[in-house]
Chain A
Amino acid sequence: EVQLVESGGGLVQPGGSLRLSCSASGFTFSFYAMHWVRQVPGKGLEHVSTISSNGGNTYYADSVKGRFTISRDNLKNTLYLHMSSLRAEDTAVYYCVKGSIAGAGGYFDYWGQGTLVTVSS
């Protein structure tokens, strides 16, 4: 059974930093691209970032480019999102999502439960 478990969310002040982690199990982590998708409570889904299976290619939404960094450790089966210079508009539930293929361009077949990030003073 595929499991994706996020951690690291919480309350952070504007301008602060936070690192999200996603522990994956139930599939061969190193074979698949991974994604972060966020959702402001009560609103729609925003695709934030993608990393290819070997970590060699990364992609960022314009809204987070230069502030967020996606990475992965294929030995630890863990995905990360390092967020810096956080703004109030980054407040959202962040989902760790498994892609259907090794690179970008696949659909999202499994989702974690999400971790809430709140940016507020």
Chain B
Amino acid sequence: ETVMTQSPATLSVSPGERATLSCRASQSVSSNLAWYQQKPGQTPRLLIYGASTRATGIPAKFSGSGSGTEFTLTISSLQSEDFAVYYCQQYYSWPEAFGQGTKVEIK
């Protein structure tokens, strides 16, 4: 079973700054990596799949990179609507495990 580890657990960022979130897989998942955003009281939303492809309707301020075991989600110029919890997920093998999440909060 592949374990996904996200860091940091909480990231404090000022509006307008850039946020960089990390996700590490315990074994290679190739590029089968997705990122989701969950705002308080809302359902998770797909942001990125294939490690770097933005889902439909996702703005270019969200970008993903990496392959194998190391992945990064970058959010440029954070606005109020971007403060949320972000989860990575591998879908290379079942169970398609999620990381524990990174909370991006206002500094």
Interface residues in chain A, defined as those with a beta carbon under 8 Å from any beta carbon in chain B: 35, 44-47, 50, 59, 61, 95, 100, 104-114
Contact = CB atoms under 8 A, between A and B. Distances in A.
B87 A44 contact: yes
B94 A59 contact: yes
Q: Interface majority SS on B: helix, strand, loop or mixed? A: loop
A45 B97 CA distance: 9
Given A100-B49, A107-B89, A109-B55, A114 B43 contact: yes
B101 A44 contact: yes
B46 to A, nearest CB: 5
Contacts, number: 59
B46 A107 contact: yes
Contact of B98 (A46, A111, A113): A46
Nearest to A109: B46
B46 A104 contact: no
The 7 A-B residue pairs with the shortest CB-CB distance, nearest first, are A107-B34, A107-B49, A45-B98, A111-B43, A44-B100, A104-B94, A47-B95
Given A44-B87, A107-B89, A59 B45 contact: no
Contacts of A105: 32, 91-94, 96
B44 interface: yes
A98 B65 CA distance: 24
Contacts of A106: 91
Nearest to B6: A44
Interface string B49-60: 110000100000
Interface in B65-107: 87, 89, 91-101
Contact of A108 (B34, B92, B93, B99): B34
A47 B87 CA distance: 13
